[in-house]
Amino acid sequence: MIENNDFVSSGEAILIAGDANGWYESGAVSDVLICGNRFHPSCLTSWYEYGEGIISICPIIPKLDPEKPYHRNIRIEDMDMICFGRLTVTDHGGRDCQFRQDQKRTFMVQRTMAASPLMLGGVLYTMDVFSMSLFTHPDILRCDQNGVIGQLAHRDGKIDVWTTSGDSKPNSGWIGIFNRDDKPATVDEIEPLYPDSTVRQVAMPEPACLDAARGSIAGVHLLLQNVPPEAALEVEASGADAWPASALRFYRLLDVPVEVN
């Protein structure tokens, strides 16, 4: 167990090598917990020998076999380190992060809404474009530097809604919706945050009433079910004489996955 330490070194802070190919000075590890450690900015200022990362796990064996890992059960917990992009640079290319883009995006949003300090554990000069776009995204930087730890606002099964308030304006901030299931989900982005606003099913032509703040834009979503694809639809609106026809706007909301929206 490597726990609650302050590391101040010119190279890597923790090295788990397992030399079974040259000097034979160490073997494989089977159970390591690294948690709650703090790393001084001086770490990795020198790339002497195996200076490939603040925490370097590099089994030195003749041939790596993914089916039979050399080191086992190495756990790194409570670490505000972002290991994206190229993690190891070697003469043959190196080792890259295996996270998908959606996993990277989720990771960054969770960390920023928790106001975590963002410390990169990858090699900056080989960083991929997508990862770099997350690190430099203005909203991600503003949310993280806002310094307010987010709170769980709503949970419905495996759908979590988190909110982080802005430190300058009481009604500003950020909302994060996370699906912890391995299946896609359809989420009403408003209802979990405002549980006092009920969604009613009305039998047309019963009028739907909506309260809105004076001077704001009032919007209504109309969901039509069991309509044949070839059917023709007509939509009209009526109201007070103060509503000019030019003030009304009709839009069709397409039900597409969030990645396409």
Residue 162 lies in a domain: no
Q: What is the DSSP annotation of 153-206?
A: EEEETTEEEEEEE-SS-TT-EEEEEEE-SSS-----SSTTT-TTS------TTS
Residue-wise pLDDT for 129-140, tens only, equals 888 888 889 888
Angle among Cα 163, 81, 70 to the nearest 5 degrees reads: 130
Whether 156 shows a pLDDT value over 50: the answer reads yes
CB 31 within 8 A of CB 72: yes
pLDDT of 29 above 70: yes
Higher pLDDT, 1 or 210: 1
- pLDDT 10s digits, 177-233: 888 888 877 655 444 444 444 555 656 566 666 666 776 667 777 777 788 888 888
Tens of pLDDT, residue by residue over 73-120, are 888 776 656 777 777 666 666 677 778 888 888 888 988 888 877 777
Residue 234 pLDDT > 90: no
Does residue 87 sit in helix, strand or coil?
A: strand
Flag whether 175 is in a domain.
no
User: Is 222 among the domain residues?
Assistant: no
Q: How many domains does the chain have?
A: 1
Contact 74, 57 (CB under 8 A): yes
The whole-number pLDDT of residue 1 equals 93
What is the reported pLDDT for 205? 61
Any domain includes 180: no
Q: Is residue 170 part of a domain?
A: no
pTM score of the predicted model: 0.47
Q: At what angle do helices 101-113 and 138-146 cross, to 10 degrees?
A: 30
Q: Does 20 fall in a domain?
A: yes
Predicted pLDDT at 190? 47
Residue 188 in domain: no
Residues 1, 105: Cα–Cα separation, whole Å: 30
Range of the domain at 35: 1-79
- The per-residue pLDDT for range 30-77, each reduced to its tens digit, is 999 998 887 776 676 666 655 667 788 888 888 878 788 888 888 877
The structure tokens 């990362």 sit at: 53
Residue 224 forms part of a structural domain: no
Cα atoms in the Cβ-side hemisphere of radius 13 Å centred on 176: 23
